[in-house]
Structure 1
Amino acid sequence: MRIAIVEDEINYQVQLIEFLRRFEKDRGETIEITTYSDGDEIVENYKAQFDIILMDVQMRFMDGMSAAEEIRKSDSEVVIIFITNAAQYAIKGYAVDALDYVLKPISYFQFSERLNRAVDRMKKRETHFLTINVKGGVKRLQISDIYYVESQGHKLIFFTKEGEVTAAGTMKELEKELSSFHFFRAHKGYLINLEHVEGMKESCAVVKGEELLVSRTKRKGFMEALANYWGEVIK
């Protein structure tokens, strides 16, 4: 589990690290901790790399609420828990889909209760994500929401549940990154998510109503992969 602490008071930073190490032993989890002393530090170069963020609300340069708003632009899934002196600040957290808040001074019981809830929410999701480089930053896509990816020159076009997303990268790298999921390179220009294949029409795979050409050399492998996937799903 990757957890970020965003807290400008060193004593609270130290206390949160101690509590996380205690929680790690209690639950038998492995936790990787990264600390930031202000909201602007976590927002800069944010790459959707955390599972949970413990965010102080009042900080010197960028307050926790503003930092959370920036983070939510590229990461709708990370669990945010606010750490605050005043409940009225934390209640505003619904605007940035914060899971919870912890009031200072922090007790381990209160903290572990909140963290247990956060971990349970994470485990229930058990979704997988892909972080891609888009113009002006990064974007996190849920892998099961990707229908197929098309290669056009030096860019990749992701056709997803939310619409089209253009990213930098190569098909070869992407194919490697998605190799443990149900994706098949049916043609040099297409990487298809077998989860969304509705059927075959002549030499094309039908994906969400689109007919995508399956090259002759890939047809046998594609049909086998599709039959295996459908077999797994039907089971």
Structure 2
Amino acid sequence: MTKICIVEDEVDQAELLKNYINRYANEHRLPFSIEHLSDGIDLVDDYKGQYDIILLDIQMKHLDGMAAAEKIRKVDLDVIIIFITSTVQYAVQGYAVDALGYVLKPVPYPQFEQIFDKAIQRVESKQHHVYIRVSVDDKQLKLDCDTIIFIESQRNNVIIHTVDMDYTTLGPLKKFEEMLISHGFSKCHNAYLVNLSFVEGVQKEEVILEHNITLPISRAKKKEFMSALTEDIL
């Protein structure tokens, strides 16, 4: 089920968007869960990456849509954001937060349907991805596993090395192994859980990964790792 959040302080506009979503759901026979929040501050408070699509009014009393989107992007790079605005002047700023686009008030259904079609297509393509939620600096982050290169055990913590940056969270590594072992990950060493899609080669006692990364491979893990790597290639 696609989870949608409408963040709009005008009740009549929020009801209009709900009606549009329900109309779209009936026409396309798709299940949606819709939640309405009246201000951006309600959205960012305790946000955990729980939505697939956010319809976000730009002009709100306490926390405007652009500021809310900036905060959301710090913890969720994947949620689809569509701005609802009364002026194009604000909407063009949406590119800075990777918004899908914007709809001008008063919102006509054909314009809504056009951009909502794009949003649903993105949601459907993302549903093939595997995500994990991790706690980093008292924030809940939603990470796409396709971007994780490897995960490293370090005392009581683990470091998640992604294509873009590294994240430190509480361990143990075994917890992540249990979550990801069936999604193309394997341990080359007691301290390293590797995304096999990033492996470029194995030589002697080393695993060579993309991005000029080299990790040790232990004797105890080599046979199991090579077997998993072969299955991943096949």
Q: Which amino acid letter does the alignment assign opposite residue 176 of structure 1?
A: E
CA contact (8 A) 2:8 2:14 kept: yes
Q: 2:176 matched to which residue of 1?
A: 174
Secondary structure of the structure 1 residue equivalent to 2:233: helix
2:140 pairs, out of 134, 138, 141, with 138
Match status 1:6 vs 2:46: no
**Greater alpha carbon shift after TM alignment, 151-160 vs 209-218:** 209-218
Q: 1:187 matched to which residue of 2?
A: 189
CA contact (8 A) 1:201 1:211 kept: no
Q: 1:105 matched to which residue of 2?
A: 106
Secondary structure of the structure 1 residue equivalent to 2:71: helix
Q: 1:219 matched to which residue of 2?
A: 222
Q: 2:121 matched to which residue of 1?
A: 120
Match status 1:91 vs 2:92: yes
Task: State the identity %.
Answer: 39
Cα gap change, 1:215 to 1:34, in 2 (>3 Å): farther
Q: 2:164 matched to which residue of 1?
A: 162
Q: Distance in 2 between matches of 1:105 and 1:163?
A: 40
Q: Distance in 2 between matches of 1:174 and 1:214?
A: 18
Give the number of equivalent residue pairs: 231
Q: 2:67 matched to which residue of 1?
A: 66
Pairing 1:41-52 to 2, within 5 Å after superposition: 41-52=42-53
Q: Distance in 1 between matches of 2:90 and 2:214?
A: 51
Deviations 1:58-103 (A, max 9, x none): 1111111111111122223221111122332223322322222122
Structure 2: segments with no counterpart, 5+ residues: none
CA contact (8 A) 1:149 1:190 kept: yes
Secondary structure of the structure 1 residue equivalent to 2:181: coil
CA shift, 1:205, in A, is 2.4
Deviations 1:96-154 (A, max 9, x none): 22222122222322211110022223445554433321114233333222111111122
Q: Which amino acid letter does the alignment assign opposite residue 118 of structure 1?
A: A
CA contact (8 A) 2:186 2:193 kept: yes
CA contact (8 A) 2:153 2:171 kept: no
Q: Distance in 2 between matches of 1:35 and 1:159?
A: 35
Q: Which amino acid letter does the alignment assign opposite residue 185 of structure 1?
A: K
Q: How well do the aligned residues superpose, as a CA RMSD in angstroms?
A: 2.1
Q: Distance in 1 between matches of 2:123 and 2:173?
A: 30
Secondary structure of the structure 1 residue equivalent to 2:31: coil
Q: Distance in 2 between matches of 1:43 and 1:212?
A: 38
Q: Distance in 1 between matches of 2:104 and 2:213?
A: 52
Q: Distance in 2 between matches of 1:2 and 1:176?
A: 27
Deviations 1:162-220 (A, max 9, x none): 24321223222212222331001333221111111122222432234444333434332
Q: Which amino acid letter does the alignment assign opposite residue 18 of structure 1?
A: N
Q: Distance in 1 between matches of 2:100 and 2:198?
A: 31
Q: Which amino acid letter does the alignment assign opposite residue 190 of structure 1?
A: Y
Q: Distance in 2 between matches of 1:112 and 1:197?
A: 42
Cα gap change, 1:212 to 1:89, in 2 (>3 Å): closer
**Greater alpha carbon shift after TM alignment, 101-110 vs 150-159:** 101-110
Q: Distance in 1 between matches of 2:208 and 2:102?
A: 46
